[in-house]
Amino acid sequence: MGIFKPLGEMVFGVAGIAVGGAVSVIGKVTNIGIVKEIGDGIEAGGVKSGAILGQAVDGVFGVAEGVLTVDLQTAERGFHEITDTAKTVVVGAANNFASVASGVAGAVSGLAEGDVPKAKEALQKAVRTSVLTMFTVGTVQQK
């Protein structure tokens, strides 16, 4: 493992704490639960996002080093880091898309049934996942 993965975890972890913490505080002060939840999610997703991006950078450097030194094993390790990163991001994006679609479908269903609390909860799930996906890379949003 290279230096960029732990560096990414640290930098994005700090950024996640700063941004997520501020959003969370706004949610607490305004007493808007979904805003607080989004802030908490940004905070939690920062480290994982940094690790994912750092792993990709490590992979690029591994491939470059392997090519420059004509070391096929190093290049192959770098390539595997890049493909693992891509898989993580694609799977996370697909799961988040499914979560948003499920939330929207639940909201429509709730409205059709006249169940406003169900529709509101489902729509909040869709909004929360959508917003968190913009701030985090490759992390699967739960709840």
Domain total for the chain? 1
pLDDT of residue 138: 56
Q: Is residue 66 part of a domain?
A: yes
Residues 66/82, Cβ–Cβ less than 8 Å: no
Q: Is residue 142 part of a domain?
A: no
Prediction pTM value: 0.71
Q: Is residue 143 part of a domain?
A: no
101 is in which domain, residue-wise? 4-135
Instruction: List, run by run, the mean pLDDT of 10-residue segments along the chain (143 residues).
Output: 80 84 89 87 83 88 91 91 89 85 91 90 87 70 52
pLDDT of 73-108, one tens digit each? 999 999 999 999 888 888 888 888 888 898 899 999
Q: Is residue 141 part of a domain?
A: no
CA 2 to chain centre: 22
pLDDT of residue 48: 82
pLDDT of residue 76: 93
Q: Is residue 140 part of a domain?
A: no
pLDDT of residue 33: 86
